[in-house]
Amino acid sequence: DVRNLYAALRAAFPADLDRTAIETDTGLHYTWRDLERGSAMIAQELLSRGLQPGERVVAQVDKSVEALMLYLAVLRAGLVYVPLNTAYPDAEVEYFVRDAEPAAVVCVPQRFGRISALAFAAGARFVYTLGADRSGTLLQRAAHRPDQHDPAPVGLDALASIIYTSGTTGRSKGAMLTHGNLLANARVLHGYWGWRPDDVLIHVLPIFHVHGLFVAVHGALLSGSPMLWAAKFDPTTVLRWLPRATVFMGVPTLYSRLLAEPELTAQRCASMRLFISGSAPLLIDTFTQWQQRTGHTILERYGMSETIMLTSNPYRPDPRFGHQDERRGGTVGFPLPGVEVRIADAHDQPLPVGEVGGVQVRGPSVFAGYWRMPDKTRAEFTADGWFRTGDVGLFDTRGYLTLVGRSKDLIISGGYNVYPAEVEGAINELPGVAESAVIGVPHPDFGEVGVALVVPRAGAPLDPEAILAALRQRLANYKIPKRCAIVAELPRNTMGKVQKNVLRQQWRDTFI
Ligand code: ATP
Ligand code: MG
């Protein structure tokens, strides 16, 4: 009976702890023993300072294997890990530190002055530094600590981590995830994606979000599989590693950047078993180009900070869905085993197959609520315990879920619902279009109308009027954006998500 996620991960380490667990792009080799000992020493350091179970440790540090050890140390010590996006400036860090009220904060050495001041002001008792090159006080202090530590038997209901959401639709919220949430999801993915001990994962995602920290890291650790580890995504490094690897995880922008490399070939991907995409919608174009270039079909999955992974395209025949094994581009696949997903109307009533509505979920990985936002938590759960994801989608008759947008991005134009994803899909199919975003802006007659921002393919001449004319051939009149503009790029956050709130702000005064 497992009472600490770390203990479960540790139990899956290979028998030979001197094998390489992580190889970095900077030429470092860490063994499984290094992970075990390093995280034990950091846990001992934190506990020696009197940190108590349930207290938070905020970390805003560059990606490194030591940063991963810090995460594992916090788990095994029974503390709560709160990673922050490294791009946040001081003012944002201040907001999160005040919100999380951590006992300890770990920051990069260069920012110690400012971050320690704001952390102490917010009540933190310790501020450590950790540099990407193993510099800083955290490791200096931990070096004097014992290298053994028994994971705290906190129980599966204990908080393991607070993940701040990406802030795509507004201010980030802290999602409280328990040891049990994380372990349940890691185990489900282990089975569903067919993880094997001889897998080798290319890890190039940041480790301050669900995708890089939980889906990728837990996947590899729980299968005792080594990782090839780069602090930042660089297509050249990935191309160099592909012949030695079996699994790759990326956000859609990573796939399009790899496609821009002529050296991406089927031969280079010969040892690969699985390419996984998520965090943002994967364009059909990327999906098919990837198939043509590499012979591999990207497996797209869907999840969020509040729930970890919810749905996945099949890796192999899924007996629950008539043994289908087709990974369908444009869909996010089937509910994972143990996860219930339903489409509901505005009154939380389940809708039939084929109808568009709010995606609601239930299952062992659904979070314990928003940190210190009980009202918000209550508002996002239905009376019968389903979590409202805020995403809008539909099931097809074969059981695949397709997302059509977020409820906050829904455009209500003259009383009609317009799903931006449908309009974007139509625009993206036009020649010369690389991608697009459709947003709703205020309009005196219609309440709201759509504005389409379109990014051309390199060198392709695009005419906004021609785009609108083409759309009129394909879509009902109320779905046609009232304005179309050609833009060089779309604003994205670090997870590759288009920031529609930024666009709405920019185009707000178009008609008023
Ligand atoms: P915030 O909640 O702060 O506005 P966010 O929802 O972007 O930000 P995350 O929890 O990091 O923060 O992201 C979860 C969201 O990402 C999902 O609700 C969904 O909208 C989107 N997403 C994840 N995977 C996919 C996918 N495969 N296709 C489309 N959207 C996806
Ligand atoms: Mg969200």
Residue type, 213: L
pLDDT for 170 equals 82
Cα distances (angstroms) measured from residue 469 to each of 414, 465, 481, 485: 20, 6, 11, 14
Residue 433 CB partners (closer than 8 Å, separation 6+): 427, 454, 455, 456, 457, 460, 462, 467
Low-confidence ranges of the chain (pLDDT < 70): none
SS3 for 336?
coil
DSSP notation for 79-98:
-EEEE--TT--HHHHHHHHH
Which residues lie below 8 Å from residue 78, measured CB to CB, with a gap of 6+? 4, 53, 54, 151, 152, 154, 158
| Predicted pLDDT of residue 267 | 98
From the alpha carbon of 210, which atom of ligand 1 is closest?
Answer: 11
Ligand nearest to the CA of 169: 1
Q: State if residue 499 touches ligand 1 by the CB under 6 angstroms criterion.
A: no
Ligand 1 close to Cβ of residue 304 (< 6 A): yes
Does ligand 1 come within 6 angstroms of the Cβ of 332? Answer: yes
Q: Tell me the sheet residues that pair with 318.
A: 324
pLDDT number for residue 301: 98
Ligand nearest to the CA of 407: 1
Single pTM value for the model:
0.94
Q: Judge if the beta carbon of residue 302 lies within 6 A of ligand 1.
A: yes
Ligand with smallest separation from the Cα of 172:
1
> Residue 364, SS3?
coil
Query: In the prediction, which pLDDT does 245 show?
Result: 98
85 CB within 6 A, ligand 1: no
For ligand 1, whether the C-beta of 497 sits within 6 Å is yes
**What's the one-letter identity of residue 116?**
S
Site to probe by mutation for ligand 1, drawn from 84, 99, 165, 313 as the one with most ligand atoms within 8 Å of Cβ, is 165
Best of 85, 95, 166 to mutate for ligand 1, by most ligand atoms within 8 A of CB? 166
Q: In this structure, which residues have their CB less than 5 angstroms from ion ligand 2?
A: 165
Q: Answer yes or no: are the C-beta atoms of 418 and 486 closer than 8 Å.
A: no
Here the tokens at position 13 are 């380490």
pLDDT digits (tens, 9 = 90+) for 38-59: 999 999 999 999 999 999 999 9
Concatenating the DSSP letter of every residue in 109-155 gives: GGGHHHHHHHHHHTT-SEEEE--TTS-SHHHHHHTTS-S--PPP---
Tell me the ligand closest to 332's alpha carbon.
1
Residue among 305, 310, 366, 401 to mutate when testing ligand 1 (max atoms within 8 A of CB): 305
Indicate the top mutation candidate among 164, 210, 495, 497 to test ligand 1's pocket, ranked by most ligand atoms within 8 A of CB.
Answer: 497
Whole-number pLDDT of residue 25: 98
* CA of 163, nearest ligand number: 1
Q: Is 169 in the pocket of ligand 1 (CB under 6 A)?
A: yes
Q: What digits encode the pLDDT tens for the residues 235-262?
A: 999 999 999 999 999 999 999 999 999 9
CB 189 within 8 A of CB 214: no
The dihedral region occupied by 54, where left means phi > 0, alpha psi between -120 and 50, and beta the remainder, is left
Q: Indicate which atom in ligand 1 lies nearest the CA of residue 171.
A: 3
Q: Distance between CA atoms of 402 and 396, rounded to whole angstroms?
A: 8
- From the CB of 406, is ligand 1 less than 6 Å away? yes
390 C-alpha to center of ligand 2: Å? 7
CA 145 – ligand 1 centroid, Å = 40
Residues 388-404: b if buried by 16+ CB within 10 A, e if exposed: bbbbbbbbeeebbbbbb
Report the DSSP pairing between strands 159-164 and 174-178. antiparallel
Ligand 2 center to residue 151 CA distance, Å?
A: 32
CA of 250 to the centre of ligand 2 (A): 19
At 429, is the secondary structure helix, strand, or coil?
coil
Cα–Cα distance for residue pair 409/421, rounded to 1 Å: 9
Closest listed residue to residue 489, CA positions, set 441, 440, 452, 436: 436
Q: Which residue's CA is minimally distant from atom 2 of ligand 1?
A: 165
- Reduce the DSSP state of residue 258 to 3 states and report it: helix
Q: Does ligand 1 lie within 6 Å of residue 167's CB atom?
A: yes
User: Cα separation of 464 and 483, whole Å?
Assistant: 8
Ligand nearest to the CA of 173: 1
Task: Assess whether the C-beta atom of 211 lies below 6 angstroms from ligand 1.
Answer: no
**DSSP single-letter state for residue 381:** B
φ/ψ region of 322 (left if φ > 0, alpha if ψ in -120 to 50, else beta) reads left
Specify which residues 193 forms β-bridges with.
Answer: none
Q: Which amino acid type is present at position 170? A: G
Tokens of 323: 């043994």
Beta sheet of 80-83, edge-to-edge order: 126-129, 104-107, 56-60, 80-83, 159-164, 174-178
The C-alpha angle 161, 204, 286, rounded to 5 degrees, equals 110
